[in-house]
Structure 1
Amino acid sequence: MSTPSLTALTPAPGQSRGLRSITLARGDMDPQSGLLGYVVRNDARTWIRRGEGLVAYGETARFTVTGPDRFTQAQEWWRRELAGAAVQDDLGVPGSGLIAFGSFAFSKTSLHESRLIVPEVVLGCSEGRAWLTYITDDAEAELSAEAAEAALAAYLVEPDSDRSPRPDDRLGPGVLSEDQYKLAVARGVKHVQAGELSKLVLARDVVAHLETPVATAQVLRELAVRYEDCWTYAVDGLIGSTPEMLIKVENNTAQARVLAGTLDRANAPADDPDYPNRVLAGSEKQLHEHQIAIDSLTETLQPFTSSMTSHSEPFVLQLPNVWHLASDVTAQLAVDDGGQVPTSLALVQALHPTAAVCGTPTTVAGALIRELEHLQRGPYAGPVGWIDAGGNGEWGIALRGAVIETPTRVRLYAGCGIVEGSLPDAELAETWSKFRPMIQALGLSAPS
C-alpha cells in the first residue's frame, strides 16, 4: 500500500484542517441588554442592532486577500471551507452554524488586506431566539454543549476595563486640512458641472490621540445604545455604527437600505417638527443625490432578482446626530442556471462600490477619489458584515466608524456626496456631523 504524499495531507495555504461546529439553542439572554451584555472584550467581533445580531470571540480560520479579485477569492475560500466542514446545527436560522465575519477594502487598488475570519465562539440572537456556536478545526476536540459553554466561559473570565477621558486626549487633523478638503470639494463640483460624472463622494479623516489605550468594547456599547437603529460592527480594529445596509440575504430574499441626503440635527429648530421633511424632502439637491444612489443599487441588483420593490418616495431616517433621506429595497432572488441563488457575498461583489460611497459612474468617480482625497481609505466605506454556510448574511457599508491603528491612535473617517449644487462649507460641516458618533463614543469633543 502506498503512503499518501505530504501535499495530500496538508491543507492548501489559508485553508483550515477541516472545520467542525456545533450550534445550541440558548435561553438565558437578558431581554434588556441582549447581546450587549457579552460585548466585554476589546477583541470581540460584533454585528449588533437593537440588542440582536452576533458577538464572536477567538479565531479558528482566516483568509486575507488584496486586489480586484478579493471578493471572488474570498468566496472560493469559503466554499472550500464549507465543502470539508462537519456541522451540527439544529436551529438552522440565518447566522447559526458555520459563520465568517468579513471586512473588505473599499478600493480594488488598496494594499489593505480584505479578510474573512471564522471565530471560535459565536453568540447569536434574532427575533428573541438565542444560540451559541462553537467552531474548531481540531479533529479530536469534543463537540458538545459542555465544550461550547466552556469555550465561551474562557473568553468571559476577565472582561476588559472601561476607560475615562484623560486631559491629554485630543483630536488632530488627518491627511487633509479643512481648507484642503473644501478645495477638493470645489474641484469635485467643477468635474460634475463639466458633465464628467453626476455624483462624487469625497471623504476625509481626523485622528484621535489618546493618553491611555482605547477601550473598544466600551466604545461599541456606547455606539450600540446611542445608535440602536444602526448596525454596530467590529472586525479586527475596524469599528463603527453604520446606518447603511449594503445587502442582507435571508432565505432567498435580499434587502438593502440606501441613504443619500443628510441634514445635521445640531442646529435644528426645536419648535419645527416638519423641519427635516421640508429641508430634505423639499431639496432638489438632496433628492437628486438620493435618486442617483437608489438607481445605482436597483439597476445593479435587478439581474439577480425575480421581483423587486422599493419606496416610491424616500423617507426621513432620524438618527441622534443627523437626518437622512432613506429608501429600503426588497428583492426576491432568482435561481441561476445551476439551480442556485446568489450568496450575500456574491451580491456584495456586484453592488460594491455603490454611488452612495463612490459616485457615478463609478470608474470616473473612483479615479477622482484617488486624485482629490489623497487618502488611503483602507476598509472605510467598504463592505463589513458576515456570511453563513447557507449564503445568508448581512453586509453594511463601513461608515460612521474608525480604524484603531495603535492602542492610543484611532483614525476616524467621514465623507459627503458631491453633486452640482454642493457647497464646500456645507460639505465640511456635514463631515463633522458624521464624525460625531465616533467622537462622542471615544469621549472626545470636536474642535470649536
Structure 2
Amino acid sequence: MTSLRAVTVDLGEHSSPTGIMDYLVRDDVLCWVRRGGGLVGFGEVARFTDAGPGRFQTAARWWRELQQDAQVDNPVGLPGTGLVAFGSFAFSKTSGHASRLIVPQVVVGLGEQGCWLTYITDDDGADLTAETAEAALAGWLDEISAERGAETADRLHPGQVSESAFKAAVAAGVEKISGGGLSKLVLARDVIAELSSPIATAQVLRELAIRYQDCWTYGVDGLIGSTPEMLIKVENNVARARVLAGTLDRANTHKIDGESDAAYAERVLAGSEKQQHEHEIAIDSLTRKLEPYTSEMTSHSEPFVLELPNVWHLASDVSAELSTNGGHAPSSLELAEAVHPTAAVCGTPTEVAGALIRELEQMDRGPYAGPVGWTDGAGNGEWGIALRGAVVESPTRVRLYAGCGIVDASTPEAELAETWAKFRPMIEALGLRR
C-alpha cells in the first residue's frame, strides 16, 4: 500500500461571503458543502474500490492501514483536517456498483473555527510546508472549468423505470404492505438527461449549494447532488443524524384562504396520520440501529417541518454520545455501515423491504440512496444519504434518481408526482425543463 505524507496549515478567517463555494470551480472537484462551509478536494493520491456485502468493512480496513503508514503533520487538529477521504457507497449489498474512498491531493476546509488547507502526497521527497501546500492549491486553481447555458436540444428521457412501471410497482408494494410482513417500502425510479454539450459539473454544484443551503451538496467521482438527509455525523465522539420522512410538494399547494405557507405545511404534513406514521418508522429504524453504539441519545419528541425550495419535509434531529470500547469510539465510517440503510430509504423490516425493492424496482440503484460524504483520520466524518442527486455517466449523459416512501395509504399517482418534485433540484440545476 502507498505510504502517504500530509501537512495541514491554518489559513485563518475566510472573509468571502460565498465561503467554500469559491473553490467549486473545477468539474473534477470533490466536495461536501453546506451554508458556505465544508470541504473541497482536488486531485487524487489514493483510491479504494469494492462491491458487495463487505464493502464497508474492507473500506474501513483500507482506511485504517493507510493511516497507520502515513506521516501527518496536523497542528490544526479540527474535524476534517489531516488525512481525509471522500467517499460514496452503493445502496445495496447486491449491487455491482463500485463503492469508493478517494484521498485527494489538496483539501480546503472551512468551519466555524476558521479555514485550513491540507496537502497530501505519496512523494517521499516532497517538501511539506505552508508554501508548498499553497502552491499545490494554486496549481489546481490555474485552470477552471467552463460554464454552460440552457440549450434547446437538451432533453429528459425515461430511464430504466418508466412512469407506468413505477406506478405498477407502487401498487404492488401497497398490496404487499396491506397483506402484512412489512410496514413501509421505499421505491425509486430514474430519468436520463441527454445534453447537447458537456455538463458543467462545477456550475451545477454551485447552483445546488446556493439554492439548497440547508442541504449538504456533494460531489464524489461523478455522483452529484444536494441531500437534505444526514445519515450520520461524528464529531469528537458525538454522533448526529437528520431523519426525513413525509414530503409535500411546494409547487402544488391547496391552501385555505389567508393560510401562510408555514401553516399549510404544518397542517398537511404534521396533521397527516400517513406522514406521521411514515416518519415514526424512519426515526425508530435509525435509533434502534444506533443505540448499541451510544451511552446517551436524544431526539425531538415531535418532528419539525423542514422548508426547502422544492418541498417541505417532516424532519427530526437525533444526537448521541458514543460509547467507548477499550478507549475506542466507533468511527463515522463504522456507524455509516451500522445505520445504513434506514427505513427512510429502504423500508421496514429492512431485509424484507430490501428484497422487495430488488423484485419491484428492477434496477440497480448504484450509489443512489447510499452513504456519501467524508471521513478523517480521527474517526470524525459526515455521511449523508445520496438523495436529490444524479450520476454523470458521460459528459453528455446524466442519470437522475428519486424515490418515495410507500405505506398502506399510498397511491401510485401521488407517489409519481412526489418523484417529480424530488427530481426538481437536479433538473433545475442542469438548466432543463420537464
Q: What TM-score do you get using the length of structure 2 for normalisation?
A: 0.98
C-alpha offsets along residues 232-264 of structure 1, whole Å, 9 cap, x if unaligned? 000000000000000000000000000000000
C-alpha offsets along residues 17-48 of structure 1, whole Å, 9 cap, x if unaligned? x1110001113624301011110000000000
Q: 2:304 aligns with which of 312, 315, 330?
A: 315
The question of 1:27 aligning with 2:12 is answered yes
User: Which residue number corresponds to residue 293 of structure 2?
Assistant: 304
User: Which residue number corresponds to residue 392 of structure 1?
Assistant: 380
User: Which residue number corresponds to residue 330 of structure 1?
Assistant: 319
C-alpha offsets along residues 76-109 of structure 1, whole Å, 9 cap, x if unaligned? 0000001111111111000011100110000001
Look up the equivalent residue of 1:25 and give its one-letter code. Answer: D
User: Which residue number corresponds to residue 433 of structure 2?
Assistant: 445
Look up the equivalent residue of 2:407 and give its one-letter code. Answer: V
User: Which residue number corresponds to residue 358 of structure 2?
Assistant: 370
User: Which residue number corresponds to residue 41 of structure 2?
Assistant: 56
Contact in 1 for aligned 2:13/2:114 (Cα 8 Å): no
User: Which residue number corresponds to residue 288 of structure 1?
Assistant: 277
User: Which residue number corresponds to residue 92 of structure 1?
Assistant: 77
- Distance in 2, matches of 1:43 and 1:159, equals 10
User: Which residue number corresponds to residue 5 of structure 1?
Assistant: none
Q: 1:415 aligns with which of 385, 399, 403?
A: 403
Runs (4+) of structure 1 exceeding 3 A deviation are none
User: Which residue number corresponds to residue 272 of structure 1?
Assistant: 259
Shift of 1:269: 5.0
User: Which residue number corresponds to residue 429 of structure 1?
Assistant: 417
Look up the equivalent residue of 1:272 and give its one-letter code. Answer: E
SS at match of 1:436: helix
User: Which residue number corresponds to residue 12 of structure 1?
Assistant: none
- Distance in 2, matches of 1:136 and 1:272, equals 58
User: Which residue number corresponds to residue 246 of structure 1?
Assistant: 231
Contact in 1 for aligned 2:306/2:313 (Cα 8 Å): yes
**Residue ranges of structure 1 left out of the alignment (5+ in a row):** 1-14
Shift of 1:268: 2.1
C-alpha offsets along residues 106-139 of structure 1, whole Å, 9 cap, x if unaligned? 0001111001111000000001510000000111
- Distance in 2, matches of 1:205 and 1:260, equals 20
Look up the equivalent residue of 1:361 and give its one-letter code. Answer: P
- Distance in 2, matches of 1:86 and 1:38, equals 26
- Distance in 1, matches of 2:338 and 2:113, equals 32
User: Which residue number corresponds to residue 75 of structure 1?
Assistant: 60
C-alpha offsets along residues 384-435 of structure 1, whole Å, 9 cap, x if unaligned? 0000000000000000000000000000000000000001100000000000
The question of 1:213 aligning with 2:198 is answered yes
Look up the equivalent residue of 1:252 and give its one-letter code. Answer: N
- Distance in 2, matches of 1:354 and 1:402, equals 20
- Distance in 2, matches of 1:186 and 1:195, equals 15
Look up the equivalent residue of 1:371 and give its one-letter code. Answer: E
SS at match of 1:135: strand
User: Which residue number corresponds to residue 160 of structure 2?
Assistant: 175
Aligned length: 430
C-alpha offsets along residues 176-205 of structure 1, whole Å, 9 cap, x if unaligned? 221111111000000000002000000000
Q: 1:343 aligns with which of 323, 331, 348?
A: 331
Q: What TM-score do you get using the length of structure 1 for normalisation?
A: 0.95
Contact in 1 for aligned 2:390/2:401 (Cα 8 Å): yes
The question of 1:229 aligning with 2:214 is answered yes
Aligned-residue CA RMSD (Å)? 0.9
- Distance in 2, matches of 1:339 and 1:128, equals 27
User: Which residue number corresponds to residue 404 of structure 1?
Assistant: 392
Shift of 1:267: 2.0
Contact in 1 for aligned 2:31/2:39 (Cα 8 Å): yes
